[in-house]
Amino acid sequence: MKVAVPWRLRLREQVVSMGFVLPALSLFAMFSVYPFYLVAKLSVHDWDGISPEAFWVGFGNFLEVLTQDPVWWQSVWHATWITLLALTIQNGIALVLALAVNRDLRGGHFYRVVFYVPPVLSGIVVGLVWNWIYDGNFGILNHALRGLGLGHLARAWLSDPGTALTAVAAVHMWKGFGWGFVILLAGLQSIPPHLYEAAEIDGANAWERFRHITVPMMVPVFFLVSILTILGTMQIFEIIVATTQGGPGYHTEVPVTRIVATMLGQNRFGYACASGLVFGAILLAVSLVQVRVSRQIAFTQ
Amino acid sequence: MTPRRMLGGVLALAVVLGGGGCAARPEQAADLVVWHWMTDREEALQTLAARYQELTGVRVQFELYAPSDVYTQKIQAAAQTATLPDIYGVLGESRDFAGFVKGGHVRDLTASMLQQDGAWRHRFFERALAMSTFEPGNAYGVPSGIYGVPLDMMNIQLLYNKRLFRQAGLDPDRPPETWEELLALGDRLEAAGIQGLVSGWGEIWLIDCFASNYAWNVMGRDKVIATIQGRVQYTDPDWIRVFRLFAELREAGLLAQGVVTMVNKVAEQTFAMERAALAFNGSWCVNVYRGMNPNLEYGVLLPPRVSEAHPMMIWGGAGTSLVVNARSRHGGEAEQFLRWMTDKDQQVFLASTTLNLPATRQAVEEIPEVLAAFADDMDRSFHPSVLPVSEYPAVLEAFDKGIQSIITGELTPEEVGRQVQAAKERELKRESRRVAP
């Protein structure tokens, strides 16, 4: 039997409910909605960050980002290149190491800790250490190459336009593979062992077990790692600042360094905000595509 | 706990948190707060603050925010929220400084400077004060006046390691005097296995500085200004000559490996550790090198001229200038403190402890000997900030990045000239599309 709730009681309940939501809503509005509104507002203005007046430019900043700024698109390509390397090499290494540690390897706990050390280090510190490793004259890398009789390969890795971007990508991958390793290892450990036991009884070899059990069971984890890799790598910043500052020329510029350079180097706050929104839209589109593809594959399987 | 009590608790917490966020800024513990970015001068500044308190009872609190780019962000954010301290410094070009003045963040000190027949003003070297002064009819629309107080001066020159010169069979008492002699060092140093020139050319402004020196030498002040005004193009043969100098440095093997991505701190360490024979650095380096290697034996060398058409000029002027916040409730006290900081005793103390060139005439008579070589060339110094116009930052970036590409051998001087001119035209177009609010 339904009992009619008096409107006063309903109202009171709603007020009470709103009261619980209000603090979180206020914080969200204050630290997410309002800043986003300000960024959107600034993106249609030309403002130097200090002067009392800002000039309305409409979609001029967006047009400039999209059609007249070759350095911006160059920087997007650089981030994409590093992301492609991270998706393949970094995550490949992370998977191999996770598979190795997932077996009852002696000292497995030790390796788990060691592999997880680089991600917890500061990006600036990592960058500075790799500066010494890559140094053209006194770096360990060139020293090792000379020791191996490969002295002709020695160079100033971070200052050579041909190697700077990949050298930076290598640092990023070294720092980042531990994240993927930990997540992939957790995924591997969540696969029920009886599946492998049954397959073994059926005569499946190691490759077949990997191909037909590990890979399908790990698909959601692969997607999680991939999406984190894409979002994390596209926003690479600290390592660039600590190694090349975007140089030589524009060879290691990435979107975030461009946004900072236009905001603080050129005092173009509006343009930087427009760049940020365009970059945010790119990341959102990539994420949506990835989620859609992952759903499709999960459904198929 | 009843829902009502829980709700009450949540709301009370929200009020406390929200109220905390909106509360008025707590009263400053110090009478005067000064923000700065100078890690190397922190100790000396704290000492002076203690002396000032002893003398006057006014407590001055120096707050250090470093490195300089972090400091710049800090003051920009503070300006936007009107929370700048009583005294601070503005880093950047005249355009940036003008923004602060027009935004009402900087107190006009002209009247104080000119009191008693300009007693305070006349303490300073003209070049030191020029960077804080806006002339009538300036391009930035700032009311004419003196807006800052210089504490020290600087200029940027070449430095050479005397011991490494000897090791390479060169005479340390006869450094190169012409551009050709400078280039010839490349072979000698390479043969001795010694690196050539290091500098913070990864922090692009130092490249700009080197190039500007030679731009003044090759084409003179008026043509540089004409270029900034858009009347001369960066594809002009004189500018191509300036760009080509970097190609010549590269071809002579005079540049250290990695110079295009080198930050100045690394360049300073490299030179101080005697791993490079030459450095392009400012007079502040005397203090830096003393800290890194007190036994470093080096000399100061005016960059050799490439043209007889115009005098060789070097970047220089006020090293550090502080301003008084126009919104400060202690503006008068802040002015008094800055005046005291520029008294002879304090200037001598700063010069002798931080090894920077003092901004005042009296103190320069008592500077340590090692600074004298820098001081000798102060008359040749110039700074873009004292020009009536300043170049767009985007053009400067294209200029400096282009030079990096010349050094790496990717682009020719002519290609860089065209790229810089294209950046200039983009900025001019952007300027024209601005619509007043």
Q: Which residues of B touch A159 (CB under 8 A)?
A: 257-262, 408
* pLDDT at residue B25, as a whole number: 43
Band the pLDDT of A50: cuts 50, 70, 90.
confident
Residue B325: partners with Cβ closer than 8 Å, 6 or more residues away: B84, B85, B86, B87, B88, B105, B106, B107, B331, B334
What one-letter code names the amino acid at A188?
L
Over residues B315-358, the pLDDT tens digits come to 988 788 999 999 999 999 999 999 999 999 999 999 888 888 88
C-alpha B241/C-alpha B244 separation (Å) is 5
Q: Which residue of A has its CA nearest to B398?
A: A249
Retrieve residue A219's tokens. Answer: 């698909």
pLDDT of B10 over the 70 cut: no
Mark which residues 210-269 of A lie under 8 Å from B by CB.
Answer: 243-245, 247-250, 261-262, 264-268
Q: Do B434 and A23 touch (CB under 8 A)?
A: no
Average pLDDT of the residues of chain A: 91
| CA of B311 vs chain A CAs: smallest distance (Å) | 30
pLDDT of B15 over the 50 cut: no
Please tell me if residue A192 touches chain B, with a CB cutoff of 8 Å. no
Q: Do A136 and B257 touch (CB under 8 A)?
A: yes
Q: Which residue of A has its CA nearest to B195?
A: A137
Over residues B401-414, the pLDDT tens digits come to 999 999 999 999 99
Q: For CA atoms B111, B112, B114, B116, give the dihedral sign.
A: positive
C-alpha A175/C-alpha A232 separation (Å) is 12
Instruction: Name the helix (H) or strand (E) containing B316.
Output: strand B314-324
Q: Which residues of B touch A267 (CB under 8 A)?
A: 95-96, 99, 393
Q: Please name the residue that has the structure tokens 């960066």.
A: B234
Nearest CB to B103 within list A52, A244, A267: A52
pLDDT of B120 over the 60 cut: yes
- Please give the average per-residue pLDDT across B283-287, as a whole number: 89
* pLDDT at residue B1, as a whole number: 46
Q: Do B258 and A266 touch (CB under 8 A)?
A: no
What is the pairing mode between strands B87-88 and B314-324? antiparallel
Asked whether the whole model's pTM tops 0.90, one would answer no
Over residues B216-259, the pLDDT tens digits come to 999 999 999 999 999 999 999 999 999 999 999 999 999 998 89
- Please give the average per-residue pLDDT across A236-258, as a whole number: 94
Nearest CB to B7 within list A20, A51, A261: A20
Nearest CB to B79 within list A50, A136, A249: A50
* pLDDT at residue B139, as a whole number: 81
Q: Do A50 and B76 touch (CB under 8 A)?
A: yes
C-alpha A106/C-alpha A246 separation (Å) is 43
Q: For CA atoms B164, B167, B172, B177, give the dihedral sign.
A: negative
Q: Do A264 and B259 touch (CB under 8 A)?
A: no
Band the pLDDT of B81: cuts 50, 70, 90.
confident
- For B63, the 3-state DSSP assignment is strand
Question: To the nearest whole percent, how much of chain B has pLDDT over 70?
Answer: 92
- Please give the average per-residue pLDDT across B2-30, as a whole number: 47
How many CB atoms are closer than 10 A to CB B241? 17
Main-chain dihedrals φ then ψ at residue B408, nearest 5 degrees: -80, -5
C-alpha B364/C-alpha A141 separation (Å) is 48
How many CB atoms are closer than 10 A to CB A298? 12
**Where does residue B190 rank: exposed (0-12), middle (13-18), buried (19+ CB within 10 A)?**
middle
Please tell me if residue A19 touches chain B, with a CB cutoff of 8 Å. yes
C-alpha A59/C-alpha A43 separation (Å) is 8
Strand partners, B159: B279, B300
Main-chain dihedrals φ then ψ at residue A262, nearest 5 degrees: -75, -35
* pLDDT at residue B21, as a whole number: 40
- Please give the average per-residue pLDDT across A216-245, as a whole number: 92
C-alpha A137/C-alpha B194 separation (Å) is 10
What spatial distance separates the first Cα and last Cα of chain A, rounded to whole Å?
Answer: 46
- For A96, the 3-state DSSP assignment is helix
Burial A101-128 (b: 16+ CB within 10 A, else e): bbeeeeeeeebbeebeebbeeebeebbe
Cis before B67 (ω within 30): yes
Choosing among A13, A31, A50, which should be mutated to test the B contact, i.e. which has the most B CBs within 10 A?
A: A50
8 Å CB contact between B324 and B111: no
C-alpha B279/C-alpha B289 separation (Å) is 12
Cite the beta strand spans of B201-297 per DSSP E.
276-282
Choosing among A31, A141, A159, A163, which should be mutated to test the B contact, i.e. which has the most B CBs within 10 A?
A: A159
Q: Which residues of B touch A19 (CB under 8 A)?
A: 7, 10-11
Q: Tell me the Cα Rg of chain B.
A: 24
| Helix axes A269-300 and A70-85, enclosed angle (nearest 10) | 40
* pLDDT at residue B293, as a whole number: 95
**Where does residue A192 rank: exposed (0-12), middle (13-18), buried (19+ CB within 10 A)?**
exposed
pLDDT of B2 over the 80 cut: no
* pLDDT at residue B435, as a whole number: 55
Over residues B35-57, the pLDDT tens digits come to 999 888 899 999 999 999 999 99
Band the pLDDT of B26: cuts 50, 70, 90.
very low
Burial A2-19 (b: 16+ CB within 10 A, else e): eeeeeeeeeeeeeeeeeb
Whole-number Cα distances in Å, A113 to A101, A116, A181, A185:
11, 5, 11, 12
Alpha helices, DSSP H, located in B264-343: 264-272, 285-292, 331-341
Q: Is this complex's ipTM strictly greater than 0.85?
A: no
| CA of A236 vs chain B CAs: smallest distance (Å) | 18
- Please give the average per-residue pLDDT across B374-394, as a whole number: 84
Q: For CA atoms B157, B355, B342, B58, give the dihedral sign.
A: positive
Please tell me if residue A60 touches chain B, with a CB cutoff of 8 Å. yes
- Please give the average per-residue pLDDT across B143-165, as a whole number: 94
C-alpha B413/C-alpha B241 separation (Å) is 8
Q: Do A51 and B266 touch (CB under 8 A)?
A: no
pLDDT of A301 over the 70 cut: no
* pLDDT at residue B17, as a whole number: 44
Main-chain dihedrals φ then ψ at residue B71, nearest 5 degrees: -60, -45
Nearest CB to A57 within list B275, B393, B435: B435
Q: Which residues of A touch B426 (CB under 8 A)?
A: 68
Nearest CB to B433 within list A57, A160, A243: A57
C-alpha B403/C-alpha B89 separation (Å) is 30
Main-chain dihedrals φ then ψ at residue B133, nearest 5 degrees: -115, 135
Over residues B179-219, the pLDDT tens digits come to 999 999 999 999 999 999 999 998 878 999 999 999 999 99
Over residues A62-104, the pLDDT tens digits come to 999 999 888 999 999 999 999 999 999 999 999 999 999 888 7
Retrieve residue B52's tokens. Answer: 């000032």
Q: Do A16 and B3 touch (CB under 8 A)?
A: yes
Retrieve residue A91's tokens. Answer: 């995550």
Whole-number Cα distances in Å, B384 to B210, B228, B354:
12, 11, 25
* pLDDT at residue B4, as a whole number: 52
